[in-house]
Amino acid sequence: MADQPVSPVPQTPRCPSCKEEMVIEIDPEYESGSAGSPRSRPEERTAAAQTQQGMYPATVLSPEDAGPLTEASRTARRDDAGSTQRTGLLPKVAAALGLGPEPELDGRFKDLKVKRLVDYPDGYPQYAAFLNTDANFRIYRRFGTLRNRVMLHRQFELAELEKRLDRLDELDDTPERRRRLSSIRFDKAQQDSERNGLIEEIDSKLEHYDALLARERDSLAMDTPTRRNHRNLVNYVWNKRKIAKSEIELLNRIDDFVILSKDQDSPFHAFLENVLHKYSFSWLQCIFVSETQKEKARGAERTRISLFSKTRINMLIQLIVALITLTLLVVPVCLLFDMDLTDEAKVVIVVVFVLVFPVSILFFATPRPHELFAATAAYTAVLVVFLSNVTGGEVPRQAESQRET
């Protein structure tokens, strides 16, 4: 008996660089032919070859799920494509910014959901879920004193081993035993040699000690959380009151915490979030709170949790920073162009704006010291060069007018 033809198995290869999925539908009359075989359709063979090469992700639907590709379905697809092309500019911009309603999804995505905080059991499960809601909540004890105690202990052990090795070397520093110090092979061959075992023990201790130093170095590279981030953590634990009081006392050591996030909120970021939390208008919630965050915080009103989209807030801050930067460059230039001002007044204008520039950077961002210094130096150089060009033609005329008087 001839073997029965085997239907192609649905496969869904994924390609990170692709954003859309192409649906390949199989007609019932071609069910017995495999992709790429002489009996399959040309478009199936092309799609299969492109899928194997990783050109785009493909979802192969069975005939029961997809059905035959009729003229009505082709017309419906052309209508959908035309409606997509007729979408206005404003909805496209809103979709690019992540605003507006979520796009409608088909049945493949019906099981996707967001697990709310209240869906986790009270106690440490819900506490861990809360820490996962924002990168600025990833705050943990550093245990700096304990780390130093361990390193001091290991350091003392190595110092004792070092003394033992020195004493052994002094004992062998005699004419009869000096060859033990000049030949490792000869020393190993001696049955009463203690040096080899001692060095192996030192090597093991040093390996552990080096690992401790490396861990301490990595620990010191971590940032210290701001007072606001630490208070947010304490407020949640005390408002929830589901962790044993004896086990939350470790949060009281405010000087012994590290934060895993490298992007803590700037002062303006914190100010903006406080304003959004205090004035929770519906239109503000629509702009700065995503649907995922709304669903995650639903039912947790008693803990006074407010989750905001950092991406959208950062976009607003970037816009404000761009406007302020433009202002700090244009305003002094316009004032320096005023010919009625004296040279002393122009110098004062430059000094004032040079002082305002780093203050504004510290308010809107969290730069490192060398970054702040480089930005301030570049800004100062621009104003000084412009000032020298402006006052260069004024000084001779002022001196000539003084001679005429």
Whether 210 contacts 158, CB under 8 Å: no
**Which tens digits make up the pLDDT trace of 121-165?**
988 998 998 888 888 889 999 999 999 999 999 999 999 999 999
N-to-C CA span, the chain: 122
In tens, the pLDDT along 336-353 reads 887 678 878 888 888 999
In DSSP notation, 329-390 reads HHHHHHHHT-TTS-HHHHHHHHHHHHHHHHHHHHHH----HHHHHHHHHHHHHHHHHHHHHH
| pLDDT reported for residue 258 | 92
Q: Identify whether 42 is part of a domain.
A: yes
Detail the DSSP E strand segments found in 2-52: 22-25
- Strand segments (E) across 207-299: 257-259
57: nearest Cα among 6, 103, 23: 23
Tokens coding 404: 């005429």
Reported as a pLDDT band with limits 50, 70 and 90, residue 94 is: low
Query: Pick from 256, 291, 247, 260: which is nearest to 127 by CA?
Result: 247
Q: Is residue 315 part of a domain?
A: no
Domain total of the chain: 3
Asked if residues 325 and 382 have their Cβ atoms less than 8 Å apart, the reply is: no
Buried b (16+ CB within 10 A) or exposed e, 172-193: beeeeeeebeeeeeebeeeeee
Residue range(s) defining the domain that contains residue 27: 8-86
Query: What is the pLDDT of the chain when averaged over all its residues?
Result: 73
Question: Considering 176, 191, 221, which residue would you say is the last residue of a domain?
Answer: 221
Does residue 259 lie within any of the structural domains?
no
Name the pairing type of β-strands 257-259 and 139-141.
Answer: antiparallel
What is the rounded CA–CA span in Å between residue 207 and residue 41?
64
Mean pLDDT (whole number) for 11-34: 44
Query: Contact at 8 Å (CB) between 129 and 117?
Result: yes
pLDDT for the residue 249: 85
Are 93 and 48 in contact by the 8 Å Cβ rule? The answer is no
Rounded Cα gap, residues 105 and 403, in angstroms: 83
**Which is it for strands 58-61 and 139-141: parallel, antiparallel or unpaired?**
unpaired
The verdict on residue 33 lying in a domain is yes
How many Å is the Cα radius of gyration of the chain?
Answer: 35
Element (H, E) at 268: helix 267-278
For 106: left if phi > 0, alpha if psi spans -120 to 50, otherwise beta; the answer is: beta
Q: Does one domain contain both 399 and 330? A: yes
pTM for the whole thing?
0.56
Instruction: Assign 226 to helix, strand or coil.
Output: coil
Residue that wins the pLDDT comparison between 215 and 115: 215
Predicted confidence (pLDDT) at residue 57 exceeds the cutoff of 70: no
| CB-CB contact of 116 with 295 (8 Å) | yes
Better pLDDT: 31 or 271? 271
Q: Which residue among 44, 69, 86 closes a domain?
A: 86
Whether residue 275 lies inside any domain: the answer is no
Res. 118: pLDDT tops 50: yes
**Where among 46, 62, 86 does a domain terminate?**
86
pLDDT exceeds cutoff 80 at 319:
yes
Percent of the chain predicted with pLDDT > 70: 64
The answer to whether residue 304 is domain-embedded is no
pLDDT at residue 132, rounded to an integer:
86
pLDDT of residue 266: 77
What tens digit of pLDDT does each residue of 242-286 get? 888 888 888 888 889 999 888 777 778 778 777 777 776 666 666
Q: Is the pLDDT of residue 196 over 50?
A: yes
Please choose, from the candidates 291, 280, 258, the residue with its C-alpha nearest in 3D space to the C-alpha of residue 98.
291
> Residue 368 pLDDT more than 60?
yes
The mean pLDDT value for 370-397 works out to 78
C-alpha closest to that of 261 among 302, 233, 294: 233
Does residue 335 fall inside a structural domain?
yes
Please indicate, yes or no, if residue 298 is contained in any of the structural domains. Answer: no
